Amino acid sequence: MTHYQTFIFDLDGTLLDTLHDLTASVNYALRRHQMPEHSLDDVRRFVGNGVRLLMERAVPGGAANPQFEACFADFRQHYMQHSLDTTRPYDGIPQLLRQLKLRGCRLAVVSNKMMAATQALVSHFFPEVEVAIGEHEAEGIRKKPAPDTVREALRQLGVGADGAVYVGDSDVDLLTARNSGLPCISVLWGFRDRDFLLRHGATSFVERPEQLLLASKKL
């Protein structure tokens, strides 16, 4: 097995189960604009490409809907206030990150979630993570699956791509890893199942967080 010194993690569906809070904020915004609400499974299918695309998928007619921008703004405001209501790390994740840190591994998170929410959640739940990068296109860094956030995370860590691995739960993560020139480990406790991931080119899987320790290199 290949051993890695740097771990770049996706956030939603990989480290944190955020689905209930995302669904609550989506439906809050939809209710305010008299639009039909969505189930948990609907929102599970919508996530992965950033919150704007999440809302484009949730709002009837998407971005072409005259109420879209107002609805999207309501979602953002509600989510920033309620992102910690029910969100929790997946079982075993805090212990995994602590063990990786004890082994001297470098840890970062890259997400298509809003930058402020990404940094707040990572700071709250995962003090071992050194770098947390969310969506901030205004600064010229494109969201995943572009490689920009991964490259920025490596830059902030002060390390190169050698010895680094990307860990995620979706097809977007697989593309992000490929575009970044990194190997990808797909987790099976997140928002997508094994069959879906296999269809999108996944080749390496873990069923439990502690299995990632086998891929770490003790320094």
Q: Which residue in 10, 17, 169, 171 is the catalytic one? A: 10
Tokens read off for 48: 């992965």
Q: What angle do CA 40, 68, 70 make, to 5 degrees?
A: 100
**Phi and psi, residue 11, nearest 5°:** -105, -70
Taking residue 137's Cβ as centre, other Cβ atoms within 10 Å add up to: 13
Distance separating alpha carbons of residues 81 and 79, to the nearest angstrom: 5
- Side-chain half-sphere of 87: how many Cα atoms within 13 Å? 28
Residues 6 or more apart whose CB falls under 8 angstroms from that of 156 comprise 108, 130, 131, 133
Active site residue 10: yes
Residues labelled as active-site residues: 10
